[in-house]
Amino acid sequence: MTGRAGRNRRSAVGDDPVIAVYQEIRARGSADFGEVTAELGLTAEESGRHRAELLRLGLLVPAGARHAPREELDGGRPLPGDRDRVTAVLPEIALLRVLDRERGTLREHLDRADRFHEVVSALTNRFLATGGDLADPETEVEFVADYRRIQQFLNDMADFARQDIRALSPAAPGRELPERVLDRDRRVIGRGVTVRSIYSRHAWAQPDSADLIARRREAGVEIRLSTVVPMNLVLVDDHLALVPADPDDRDAGAVLVRGPALVRSYRAFYEHCWYAAAPCPEGDAAQRGAEALTEQQHAVLRMLGAGMKDERIARALGVSLRTVSRLVAELMQELNTASRFEAGVRAARRGWLD
């Protein structure tokens, strides 16, 4: 039985075990390299050789502190069990990095030209031309469930972007270390790439997230605020988009979209959100939240604090009950509360009713 199982695993590898290993790890997002090669029936010697080749081509990178969620780090370092974990990199990004790395040295180091062409040939002939999910240059949609793979994409975009990076953020990153975010910002902006981000007003009113937003602005990120930010979204030039698989469940994974045909639609949506949002104001975080409210929202908040019912508020403002319900829902979201009473209490504590 063991022999037949081993032969069946070996047959699944096909003619090129390197491609089989890469595709398996890419399908998982990130994985323990030794476990994957063992499941495919490869020997330890084969596993080591293929790991070295994939790392050399830039198609795999060791998973480290920049990939792990905050709760999986020990003092900023990955836990010991992640020592052999690797994360997949898109073939075109690996190729782009090779081209960038070699561009400035080809003229001076002709002896390195053979190795450069060997890498380009390997990427082009063996990985970009393997067909199916890796070869379509126009449009590709890929579901990514592993958080480390999502983090690898966010890291890759810092090298891939040539024009701009645009992001929607309902809240400040909860699973990422702030320094990780700021490091990406500095790398990208240092190359002349424009970085823009839209945050919710609620995030701006919270001290911790307001601090990160302010630091990102100091680093050169263009920041705007909106009462409602519908979902997380990252756009890189006209070529890449990272959108949530389920906007209401951050653990549901993400969808990686490649190709201008789809990305342009997300870009148009982002531009609408950007022009509907307001510039990020200066001042104390709690007071910033109050200043961000409209005059109508201020009036509704004061009336709620006085215990008035929706009907009286609607008559006082000369608006419909539906408009009052919408304004109350916006205030509850701004104050991050589940009830009107709690919203009134929290607004009073912040001095918004003065």
CB 168 within 8 A of CB 198: yes
Strand-strand pairing, 73-74 and 278-279: unpaired
Most confident segment among 20-34, 65-79, 239-253: 20-34
CB 333 within 8 A of CB 343: no
State residue 137's pLDDT score.
52
State residue 147's pLDDT score.
81
Q: Assess whether pLDDT exceeds 80 at residue 283.
A: no
CB 212 within 8 A of CB 172: yes
Q: What is the pTM of this model?
A: 0.58
Q: 96 by DSSP, 3-state: which?
A: helix
| Alpha carbons 342 and 202: distance in angstroms, whole number | 15
State residue 276's pLDDT score.
85
Query: What's the mean pLDDT in 105-109?
Result: 61
| Alpha carbons 304 and 346: distance in angstroms, whole number | 12
Token duo for residue 22: 């890469």
Would you give the distance in Å from CA 66 to the centre of its chain? 12
Token duo for residue 139: 């449009």
CB 10 within 8 A of CB 41: yes
Residue whose entry in the numeric block shows the structure tokens 């403002």 = 317
CB 317 within 8 A of CB 324: yes
Among the residue ranges 40-49, 67-76, 200-209, 228-237, the one predicted with the least confidence is 67-76
136 vs 106, more confident:
106
State residue 175's pLDDT score.
66
Q: Assess whether pLDDT exceeds 90 at residue 196.
A: yes
Query: What's the mean pLDDT in 305-329?
Result: 84
State residue 135's pLDDT score.
42
